[in-house]
Structure 1
Amino acid sequence: MRVAVCQLNARDDRAANLRVARELLERAAAGGADLAVLPEYTDHLGRAATAPKPEPIDGEYATFFADAARELGMWVHAGSFHETGPDPDHTYNTTLVFDRGGALAGTYRKIHLYDVEIPGRVSYQESATVAPGETLEIVAIEQAHVGLSICYDLRFPELYRKLAIDGATVLVVPAAFMLHTGRDHWEPLLRARAIENQCYVLAAGQIGNHDPDRTCFGRSMVVDPWGTVVAQAPDVVGVTFADLDFERLAEIRATVPSLANRRL
């Protein structure tokens, strides 16, 4: 199974973001990808004042990527977007997955929200504008069982262990990881999630500068179930490919049967 992680620099121009996303998907399809993954907030990453109006899961954003999946004949993980939330003050941060025919095959709303208060240094409350999801999601894609997550979820290993227990063989992490944390934490966390759950991990990140005064780390990558980084993007917008070997996954799980040996 060939996969592509698409690295994007989304800004405050939604139309431009979607145009580049489509170009990346076309490159993924041309490279033979069965599944292409876009990053968190593919629709908009910028100042709140320029954010697009939130949409339902059957809105224009969904239609755009459903059409891309159908026209390219490829599974499309549409990163995430600002979905209409439970009240006027909150959106959901939502992933949509479309099959080769353009049908919606999976939906996941980000569960863990980044709330931090460090006096004199940083104050950020994601929960002030984003409502948390409540449900895990695994999507059957070809021979893979793909567990969904988004960005900050990566720091919560219990989410991924539950996905693995429920049958996931691939874990997907669309993200907009910040530069100052990404350079030290991004790869170790991704490799840890791969090793402890004996799954492939597909991580598609935002790259570069975004308003207001935000820089994303990028380094989109694919990690195998042994924890080896088998493909990694350079620090530019682009597409990175990897081939998933499920016989190797089965061999790793048999050789080091940590999932089978767990007692909790």
Structure 2
Amino acid sequence: MRIALLQMTSGIDPAVNARVLADAIGDARAQGAAMVFTPEMSGLIDRDRARAARSIADEGDDRVLAAVRAAAATHGLWVQLGSLAIKRADGRLANRAFVIDDRGAIRARYDKIHLFDVDLPTGERWRESAAYAPGEEAVVVETAAGSLGLSICYDLRFPALYQALSAAGATSLAIPSAFTRPTGAAHWHVLMRARAIESAAFVIAAAQTGLHEDGRETFGHSLVVDPWGEVLLDMGEPAGLAVVDLDPSRVAEVRSRLPVIAHRRAIAPVGSVS
């Protein structure tokens, strides 16, 4: 099973980003991929919220989503659209991932549950919750890449989500991201490998990379990790498209060798000691 990952340096113009995405879908199909994975915020990265607001629409009017659906149908390719900023009916925003099938139909949606509200030692300060509402539900969907559990970026740090996804049957985990450079250098590889190992599942993490138009920098290193924790693909820092072949039987092999999902037990709350 061949998949493709797109590593992007998304900018402030959704039309430009949409063209990059549509071209990548065609390239992935030409290279024999059955499904392509894109990063978090594929359609727009702009920390100027007033300017960004002019480009954010509801799902039915989003130009990037429409372009990706059209390209998926044209090329007959499944797409895990890492995420887009989408305006909700209540006026708040969602950081929303999509799974689009090879006819351009939306098969699944997932709104990011864990929002990135941190103060980094570098002085960077991020408050995702100031604009975005958190999601409430974990999602697993059947795709050309098997049973896929959906998540986004900061979700990576919360293993209970991945336990729920693998318990629900996910054999692959999508973790599209726009990791900062400091957190990426410190934690990216070890956390991705940990999520793959503890879930005995493939991890597919398409990432943003480089210096963006709005001035932020992202870490890159889009990864594919197998259920044993072996890194099958590391794209480094350049933007671009890469393909990798996955062996679906690897999941059953690893889970039979180390049946960690079957061995999970509910843990009672920690009691106080007097």
Q: Residue 262 of structure 1 corresponds to which residue in structure 2? A: 264
Q: 1:197 aligns with which of 166, 186, 199?
A: 199
For residues 212-246 of structure 1, the C-alpha deviation after alignment (integer angstroms, 9 at most, x for no partner) is 43110000011000000001113211112111212
Partner SS for 1:63: helix
Q: Residue 107 of structure 1 corresponds to which residue in structure 2? A: 109
Pair 1:143–1:82, CA change in 2 (3 A): closer
TM-score normalized with structure 2 length:
0.91
Q: Residue 149 of structure 2 corresponds to which residue in structure 1? A: 147
Q: Supply the distance in 2 between the matched residues of 1:178 and 1:153 (Cα, whole angstroms).
A: 14
For residues 34-60 of structure 1, the C-alpha deviation after alignment (integer angstroms, 9 at most, x for no partner) is 110110111111232331432222333
Q: Going by fraction, where is strand more abundant, 1 or 2?
A: 1
5 Å-filtered alignment, 1:11-50, equals 11-46=11-46, 47-50=48-51
Partner SS for 1:225: coil
TM-score normalized with structure 1 length:
0.94
Q: Supply the distance in 1 between the matched residues of 2:213 and 2:253 (Cα, whole angstroms).
A: 45
* Misfit runs of 4+, over 4 Å: 117-120
Please tell me whether the aligned partners of residues 73 and 101 of structure 1 are also in contact (alpha carbons under 8 angstroms): yes
Pair 1:23–1:142, CA change in 2 (3 A): closer
Q: Supply the distance in 2 between the matched residues of 1:54 and 1:224 (Cα, whole angstroms).
A: 35
* AA partner of residue 211 (structure 2): N
* AA partner of residue 240 (structure 1): A
- Let me know the Cα RMSD of the aligned residues: 1.7
Q: Supply the distance in 1 between the matched residues of 2:154 and 2:38 (Cα, whole angstroms).
A: 16
Unaligned 5+ runs, structure 1: none
1:227 and 2:229 matched: yes
Partner SS for 1:58: helix
Q: Residue 188 of structure 1 corresponds to which residue in structure 2? A: 190
5 Å-filtered alignment, 1:1-264, equals 1-46=1-46, 47-51=48-52, 52-59=54-61, 60-88=63-91, 90-117=92-119, 121-142=123-144, 144-264=146-266
* AA partner of residue 153 (structure 1): D
* AA partner of residue 67 (structure 1): A
Q: Supply the distance in 2 between the matched residues of 1:176 and 1:118 (Cα, whole angstroms).
A: 15
Q: Supply the distance in 1 between the matched residues of 2:103 and 2:150 (Cα, whole angstroms).
A: 20
Q: Supply the distance in 2 between the matched residues of 1:81 and 1:120 (Cα, whole angstroms).
A: 27
* AA partner of residue 31 (structure 2): G
* AA partner of residue 49 (structure 1): A
Q: Supply the distance in 2 between the matched residues of 1:37 and 1:144 (Cα, whole angstroms).
A: 13
Please tell me whether the aligned partners of residues 114 and 155 of structure 2 are also in contact (alpha carbons under 8 angstroms): yes
State the shift of 1:150 in Å: 0.6
Which has the larger displacement, 188-197 or 212-221? 212-221
State the shift of 1:64 in Å: 1.3
State the shift of 1:86 in Å: 4.9
* AA partner of residue 82 (structure 2): G
Q: Supply the distance in 2 between the matched residues of 1:206 and 1:143 (Cα, whole angstroms).
A: 22
Pair 1:118–1:4, CA change in 2 (3 A): closer
Partner SS for 1:83: strand
Please tell me whether the aligned partners of residues 112 and 152 of structure 1 are also in contact (alpha carbons under 8 angstroms): yes
Please tell me whether the aligned partners of residues 81 and 94 of structure 1 are also in contact (alpha carbons under 8 angstroms): yes
Paired residues, number:
263
